Amino acid sequence: MKETGKKFLGIMFECCNIYRRVYINKEGNAYEGRCPKCFAEVKVRIGTDGSDTRFFRAR
């Protein structure tokens, strides 16, 4: 499997107990994605006062 080189965050969608990667949006100001089962949305803004953490849980 070839690496894409795209920046991503790993999100554990607790609503459906599913892990998924979310990628930077077109504007480059946030990571955005949806739960693949129930389509719940997640948006993680990018900022100077942010976190170095790459994996999160969404409720």
| Residue boundaries of the structural domains of the chain | 8-58
Q: What is the pTM of this model?
A: 0.83
Provide the pairing of β-strand 55-58 with 8-13: parallel
Distances (CA, A) of 21 to 18, 33, 49: 10, 8, 22
Structure-block tokens of residue 43? 């948006």
pLDDT of residue 1: 55
pLDDT tens-place string over residues 1-58: 566 688 899 999 999 999 999 999 999 999 999 999 999 999 999 999 888 899 999 9
pLDDT of residue 36: 96
Question: Rounded to an integer, what distance in angstroms lies between the CA atom of residue 2 and that of residue 12?
Answer: 23
Provide, rounded to the nearest whole percent, the portion of the chain with pLDDT above 70.
93
pLDDT of residue 26: 95
- Decide: residue 33, CB within 10 A, 0-12 exposed, 13-18 middle, 19+ buried: buried
Which helix (H) or strand (E) segment holds residue 33: the answer is strand 30-34
pLDDT of residue 6: 85
